[in-house]
Amino acid sequence: MENPPSGVCYTTRRIVGLFQIGPCAGAETMPRNSHQRSFFFRVFRFGFRFAALVALAVLACNAWVILSTLSRIYSDADAIDFRPVGLVLGTSKKVAPNVPNPHFDTRLEAAAALFKAGKVRHLLVSGHEEPQYYSEPRDMKERLLSLGVPANAITEDASGARTLDSVVRAKRIFGLDQLTIISDDFHVARALFLARSEGLDALAFTGKPVALHDSKRARGREYLARVKAVLDIYVLHTAPVLAEEPRKILVQGLSE
């Protein structure tokens, strides 16, 4: 069969697929790998939609945590109400052998300032420890002593490896119903969110914010940590570390 004259092609295209009646000189034919391209396009489209949903969930969780706690966060010691005990959330003293951790300094200086302002009368320092290597609560206590806080106004909690542990233990182990959480500006919202889920009457106090170039990694991780907090409370029902018997904090100057 002879080819149709030049320019004549009996083809129906872009209507119900690709159909061609007879050979047509110069006409395009369907690539053999079109099905593969179609498959990869569907995978890409699914991946894009899934990523968009994840991003939306992260934004929603962060907005919930931040906006629901914003009114209970203070940076001025004169403005915050009195609470008998301040919960200082732990962090390591150094980020490298000879490099101080600015978050450690900020938290402990804020705690000492709040104590000296008379807005708390006792400090519960809660953090993680590896007895052979380091102890966050011990380092925190030593720094507070150097800042003028008396030893009888400090209690150590070495089982506060996570913010969840520190907050829940403040109530279930140390018997607190009211407290002020002391930590970084980007951290306290999550701690307050956890405290509210535990039924604690909590406020938060922040010190001077750490410069962005020294805190960008911690701030970035906090976006995912807030999502984890929501999951811990409402989905995973994550259990805190409660291995020991309750022990009440004795606050000097308060009547029983």
pLDDT tens for each residue of 85-116: 999 999 999 988 889 999 999 999 999 999 99
Q: Is residue 248 part of a domain?
A: no
173 lies in which domain range?
Answer: 67-236
CATH number at residue 98: 3.40.50
Q: Is residue 84 part of a domain?
A: yes
Residue ranges of the chain whose pLDDT lies below 70: 1-33, 253-256
pLDDT of residue 9: 44
pLDDT of residue 31: 57
Question: What is the tally of structural domains in the chain?
Answer: 1
* pTM across the whole model: 0.82
Output DSSP code: residue 232: I
Residue listed under structure tokens 């006792």? 122
Nearest to residue 208, comparing CAs of 75, 13, 32, 113?
75
The per-residue pLDDT for range 34-59, each reduced to its tens digit, is 777 787 878 888 888 889 999 999 99
pLDDT of residue 3: 52
Residue spans of beta strands (DSSP E) within the chain: 10-13, 18-21, 73-74, 85-89, 94-96, 99-100, 122-126, 129-130, 134-135, 154-157, 178-183, 201-206
Q: Is residue 129 part of a domain?
A: yes
Residue 108 and residue 143 in contact, taking contact as beta carbons nearer than 8 Å: yes
Q: Is residue 56 part of a domain?
A: no
SS (H, E, C) 117-179: CCCCCEEEEECCEECCCEEHHHHHHHHHHHCCCCHHHEEEECCCCCHHHHHHHHHHCCCCCEE
